[in-house]
Amino acid sequence: MTFDSGQTWALFRSGGKLILQNTSLHSEFRPSRFLFLAPDLKSGDLYVTGDAPQEVDPLGYPLNQVLWIILLAQGRGLLFHACGIDDDGKGFLFLGNSGDGKSTSAKLWFDHGVAVLNDDRIILREKDGEFWMHGTPWHGDFGEHSSHGLPIHKLFFLRHGRKNSSQAKSGAEAVSMLLTRSFAPFWDKEGMAFTIEFCQHLASQIPCYELTFVPDGRILDFVRNA
């Protein structure tokens, strides 16, 4: 065994291959999908039991997302708990854990005619010296999503509050806040080293703020002028 999420999946190594199963070792449910990945991660085989539900995505949740986490950790990027907004070419990224207001933010911006990449899962990559964010198909409570990508203009850590306010974050504090909102490959020493370096570079290049907000249209101009 290499890693057990404790909830929905586990990771093994056998004969040089990585093996993902779609339940925890401590789950009361039996696994119904096993993904065997070649050592170079360029190929694999999926085994599905007869009682597994038939889905459009044969990997199903959570193996589809875990596979992306593994692939991104090979120096490609990171998956974050985040809502991504394309405000007429300006990329605003709102990071938060469950209940912090990502879906609420997505609906507010969408209702004012602004494009939403995703309200819950955003991929970040560095391309030609710029940090880009990309939408994914794995949305939260707000269903609008897009595979579109664009450079990040500003980055906000969401927090509940009674007024619209922002506080700049930088250095180790910003890096720590990024890490706790990322899907980090804890089972992969090299992948974790890349993850930390990625977050450090991101925090040094993109303006970061902690944001509290009132859920109405006034937050749009507040974010634009932060």
Q: Using CA atoms, how far apart are residues 224 and 97, in angstroms rounded to an integer?
A: 22
User: Does residue 98 share a domain with residue 57?
Assistant: no
Q: What is the domain range of residue 64?
A: 3-72
Domain count of the fold of the chain: 2
- CB-facing half-sphere around the CA of 54: CA atoms within 13 A: 1
Both 86 and 46 in one domain: the answer is no
Final residue before a domain boundary, out of 72, 90, 116: 72
Do residue 61 and residue 110 come from a single domain?
A: no
Same domain? 120 vs 203: yes
Looking up tokens 């809502």 gives 83
- Cα 51 off chain centre by: 30
Q: Where are the beta strands (DSSP E) in the chain?
A: 3-4, 10-14, 17-21, 33-37, 44-48, 78-87, 90-95, 115-118, 121-127, 130-135, 149-159, 165-169, 208-212
Please indicate, yes or no, whether residues 160 and 63 belong to a single structural domain of this protein.
Answer: no
> Do 107 and 144 reside in the same domain of the chain?
yes
Q: What is the pLDDT along the chain (226 residues), one digit of tens a residue?
A: 999 999 899 999 999 999 999 999 989 999 999 999 999 999 999 999 987 677 778 899 999 999 999 999 999 999 999 999 999 999 999 999 988 999 999 999 999 999 999 999 999 999 999 999 999 999 989 988 888 899 999 999 999 888 999 999 999 999 999 999 999 999 999 999 999 999 999 999 999 999 999 999 999 999 999 7
Within 10 angstroms of residue 114's Cβ, the number of other Cβ atoms is 16
